Amino acid sequence: MEMTGNTILVTGGTSGIGRALAEQFHSRSNQVIIAGRRQPLLDEITAERPGIRGIQVDLDDEKSLVAFADGVAAEFPDLNMLVNNAGISREENIVGEDFDFATSREMIHTNILAKLQLTGLLLPVLRQQPTATIITTSSGLAFVPRHNFPTYCATKAFLHSWVQSLRTQLRETAIKVLELIPPYVQTELAGPDQARDPNAMPLGTYIAEVVGLLESGDLPNGEILVERVKQLRSAERMGKYDEVYSTLNAS
């Protein structure tokens, strides 16, 4: 895929993988729009990176989402890349007395429904471009889940299935559909401790490998797979699912 001269929308672009990708895309002479809930972070990023456009939006609010998509399509009619990255992760104990289904509902809405709706709303403008790309962030945990993040892992498994169907439905168009499958990365997705966890892959290292894969075009089956996540992705295919699952959930 071309890495320069694009107009790119990155949801969840104020922190973690989304922010790092947005900054990398911006440094390669792309017009980058980042969407997020927190205005102070949007202001911080756009001040540090003149030229990045920041738009505040609550993707869980349907009216806000529709207005946001309409505004992006009107302001950026040459939009040719959507990075569906916004997502949340919460630990859950389904059998615990204090289990709150509202937490599950929030993850399902943010991680699944908002992505589906935004993609549908922006497909008309993406289809107008000579070439376009949709990148959706799933997770290595879509393939081997962690028991203490049941809904989060399930939302990512849903996205993996959905991306495959979307890719097939768009096969006769100029839109390329890619799936970004991260391993455990040093971000604050599951809280501040994750960003400091030595067992997690450093964010900068992860993004550098992702960008290298995008530049090289080494994307088998439309999947963006760094080396560190391949064990999870291939566990079932290699007959090692039970082993990998047990190791991942040992604690």
CB 155 within 8 A of CB 84: no
CB 145 within 8 A of CB 154: yes
DSSP letters along 100-137, please?
-HHHHHHHHIIIIIHHHHHHHHHHHHHHTSSSEEEEEE
Q: Is 88 exposed, middle or buried (0-12, 13-18, 19+ CB in 10 A)?
A: middle
Check 152, 184, 206, 245 and give the catalytic one. Answer: 152
Tell me which long-range contacts 113-118 makes (C-beta under 8 A, separation of at least 24): 114/59, 114/60, 114/65, 114/86, 115/11, 115/84, 115/86, 115/159, 116/162, 117/62, 117/65, 117/66, 118/11, 118/59, 118/65, 118/68, 118/69, 118/82, 118/84
Using the Cα atoms of residue 177, residue 129, residue 8 and residue 25 in order, give the sign of their dihedral. Answer: positive
Cα–Cα distance between 7 and 131 in angstroms, integer? 11
Q: Is 241 among the residues known to form the active site?
A: no
- Which residues are catalytic, by number? 152
